[in-house]
Amino acid sequence: MKNVVLILLLFIQGGVNANIRVPRMVNIINFVRQTEPRYAEVTDEVLFNTTMAEIELLKKYELKGTFLLQYDALIDTLYQNLFKDPSNASFEIGAWWEITQPHVEACGMKWRGEYSWDWRANVGFSTGYTPCERKKLVDEYMGRFKEIFGRYPSSVGSWFIDAHTLLYMYEKYHVVALCICKEQIGTDGYTLWGGYWNQAYYPSRLNAFMPAQTERLQIDVPIFRMLGSDPIYQYDCGRGTFNQPVVSMEPVYKDSGGSKEWVSWFLKILTDNPCLAFSYVQVGQENSFSWNKIKEGLSMQIGLIDSLRKEGKLQVQTLSESAFWFKRHFKHTPATAVVALDDYRGSGMKTVWYDSRFYRVNMLWKNGMGYFRDIHLFDENLSSPYLYKPNTSSKCVYNTLPFVDGHLWSTSDFNSGMYFVQFQCSGKTDVLKGDDVKVEEVSDNLSVKWDLDGYDAKVSILFTESTMEIRLVSEKQFDWALEQRVALKKELPFKMISKDQIWAVSDGHIFEVECKIGKFISLKDSDDGRYGVFRVLPENNCIILDFK
């Protein structure tokens, strides 16, 4: 009897396995536009029929979904009647925050767009408007939404949003959830780079893209990252350029979200692998792509998700349900992870993403080499340039603080990153290699253990909320270090490197990284086409970097 009670307690506390301990969440979110000016064949009727088909698909599997309405769709009686239909009452209706001509003119302002919906950042998004104008846009949308549906929306989505608008939505209209675009560089003119990579975070009152570190500057609206980015391949797409292709869950892309092989692999990462606090993916597509282009991929995805739901491997929730769960469990942004230790392309690549409220880090194993491909720091005091001033550019850029950037600091034929190296007698270095990688959750921390080839040695890495601890365990002593390597002629933030600290400046903001165990040493240009920036030398085979 005692054993039965113990098993039940473990089950309740989540001690049996990771799938029981933390939720694996899926939001099915479809964004609804009333008009699409870019493609003549995508008429208003095509858009409406696409939305109806998305609704019928979810009904077929009796799945929850969130539909986010752009203002032009909100005021269209066809969409009003569609979502007021009692048979569609199970769906959550919220706001899609792209700005349109009827929205602007309803506020008594002049429309500056080329079309009635214009996707350019200074016209189609709140960042293009003054703080006073942003409030008018919010008031108009919220008032009209309540007039139509009898309440204010709980959920809002946008490719990106400014903190001033989000805070106003939260404080006046009690919005509980926001979703924004995945990481990308230059796609559609929008760059969101270096942020909390997946899952969700509480943003800073000064910058909606920046996770907050304190309650004082925190907006209590969790922001979920959309589109299900490929954890291995998306990052390096268009490496060293400013226009990324897309490898994501979006069903319109045949090689990823439209591929059953890729989607099955991605969902296995979601349901089976370590993730710490919870795992999450958004599924769905804006109606602008039309049903003919997304039908096959989205139907395949929904079928797979329904099967996993019935097996108890994941939960399908509305966006606001996920946000309410998040707010019940976390007073500040939790640490989360995305782990992929196999590669659907069969190339043997592996990756680990770790995020906390202080930093994010990505490790990649490629051709046996394990290295840090990305480390960005978070600081709630870094204000967005769009906080109070309207963006006058057709493009938009949101950044955090780069310590390692394997995309922007690389070229098409050189991978920037922080590598594990061994010193030769000549003083040159060899990159350490090994394919055997194990990842485990250790309380709220993430442990990575990596066996090195030919050394009878193991690298042990522990990611904690504010630090990264690296230890080498080896029967045979040898000299090793971390080495930051960057392609030539790249603009870097590093201004001063001392034994225990590196000072850097990005977007005029000073930040630092402290080496609590080990030491930094500065390097000069090398002769083999790479720029050696610095090394981190261990102390007693240990390095601890503090990102707080």
Summarize pLDDT for 136-192 with one digit per residue, the tens: 999 999 999 999 999 999 999 999 999 999 999 999 999 999 999 999 998 888 999
Strand order through the sheet with 190-193 = 184-187, 190-193, 396-399
pLDDT score of 458: 93
- Rg of the chain over all Cα atoms, to the nearest angstrom: 24
pLDDT score of 4: 38
When the pLDDT of each residue in the chain is averaged and rounded to a whole number, the result is 92
- Pairing mode, if any, of strands 24-32 and 315-317? parallel
pLDDT score of 14: 32
The whole-model pTM stands at: 0.93
Q: Where in the chain is the domain with CATH 3.20.20.510?
A: 19-338
Confidence of residue 10 (pLDDT cuts 50, 70, 90): very low
pLDDT score of 2: 41
Instruction: Tell me the pLDDT tens digit for each residue of 298-332.
Output: 999 999 999 999 999 999 999 999 999 999 999 99
Instruction: Tell me the pLDDT tens digit for each residue of 389-428.
Output: 999 999 999 999 999 999 999 998 889 999 999 987 666 7
For residue 525, pLDDT beyond 60 = no
- Sequence-ordered list of residues with C-beta below 8 angstroms from that of 428, at least 6 positions apart, any chain: none
The 3-state secondary structure of 505-541, one letter per residue:
EECCEEEEEEEEECEEEECCECCCCEEEEEEEECECC
The mean pLDDT of 499-522, rounded to a whole number, is: 95
Q: Where in the chain is the domain with CATH 2.70.98?
A: 339-393+414-546
Confidence of residue 475 (pLDDT cuts 50, 70, 90): confident
Percent of the chain, pLDDT > 70?
A: 95
pLDDT score of 22: 87
Of the CA atoms within 13 Å of residue 366, those in its CB half-sphere come to 14
For residue 15, pLDDT beyond 90 = no
The mean pLDDT of 514-520, rounded to a whole number, is: 97
Where are the extended beta strands (E) located within 33-131?
A: 66-69, 92-96
For residue 338, pLDDT beyond 70 = yes
Please tell me whether residue 186 adopts helix, strand or coil conformation.
strand
Which CATH fold topology does 19-338 show? TIM Barrel (3.20.20)
pLDDT score of 361: 98
Instruction: Tell me the pLDDT tens digit for each residue of 215-237.
Output: 999 999 999 999 999 999 999 99
Q: Are 102 and 110 in contact (CB under 8 A)?
A: no
Long-range contacts of 72-75 (CB under 8 A, 24+ apart): 72/33, 72/34, 72/35, 72/100, 72/101, 72/102, 72/103, 72/116, 72/117, 73/32, 73/33, 73/34, 74/141, 74/144, 74/145, 74/148, 75/102, 75/144
pLDDT score of 354: 98
The domain made up of 339-393+414-546 is a member of CATH 1.10.150: no
pLDDT score of 20: 45
Q: Which of 215, 217, 180 is nearest to 200 (CA)?
A: 180
Instruction: Tell me the pLDDT tens digit for each residue of 77-92.
Output: 999 999 999 999 989 9
- Sequence-ordered list of residues with C-beta below 8 angstroms from that of 273, at least 6 positions apart, any chain: 18, 279, 338, 339, 340, 341, 439
Which residues does residue 26 pair with via DSSP β-bridges, in sequence order? 281, 316
pLDDT score of 530: 59
